[in-house]
Amino acid sequence: MKYIRFGIYILLIFLLFIPILIFPRIVKVKKIECYNQYGLCADDFMSKVNPAIGESINNAKKKITEEFNNTKQIEKYSSRFKFPSTLRIDLILKKAKYAIQNKNTKEIVLVDDKGMVLEQVDKTNLPYIIVDGSLTDSKQLFALELMYSIYYLYQVKNGEIVNGSLEVVIPKEGKIIFPLEGERDILLGSLKLILSRAGNFKEIDLRYKNPVIRYE
């Protein structure tokens, strides 16, 4: 009797898990809902997930995972099935902090706080650097961080990489030349001190241990 009861328990457990195992393999996804922290997903993201419509739940999730693993803009995501046939996807997108413009092509790419390129756009409200050619990752990130601070302090939106230095023009002041390495806070502190004392100048060159001020 004890063995019969045990067998019944095993059978019940087996019958309970069969739908859980089979359901995701046979039920088709007929609709996909996609949201990020800002609201509905944009059309470019929907174009990535829509091919999963018509697939089983398992296959749809696999397709979406493969697609999102190759999408730089996504920080993390989750998906869940909504009865009877909807797959809901929730995304957390990486936030662009800087931008880079190619001087020759005028193409603009958005960059996150780690220096990773997220996407290409036609225009941006973010502070940006103009480049002609490529930079090492460390120098590029240094220039972007410096430009972000300059934008915050002096509302100057862009600067240009010229001969391995960052050149920024502050309206009603003059041109500032920054190195692409060093202590960012020290450079900005030196600039603030010099601007308070320099008067009318043409150029401040911060690439040297003792900054050079050039007048008209």
pLDDT at 14: 46
Hey, what are 69's tokens? 């693993």
pLDDT at 58: 86
Domains of the chain: 23-93 (3.10.20), 98-214 (3.40.50)
How confident is the model over 54-109, as pLDDT tens digits?
Answer: 988 888 899 999 998 888 889 999 989 888 889 999 999 999 999 999 999 999 99
Low-confidence ranges of the chain (pLDDT < 50): 11, 14-15, 18-19
Task: State how far the alpha carbon of 189 is from the alpha carbons of 61, 92, 113, 166, 184, in Å.
Answer: 51, 36, 22, 16, 9
pLDDT at 9: 56
DSSP 3-state of 192: helix
pLDDT at 15: 43
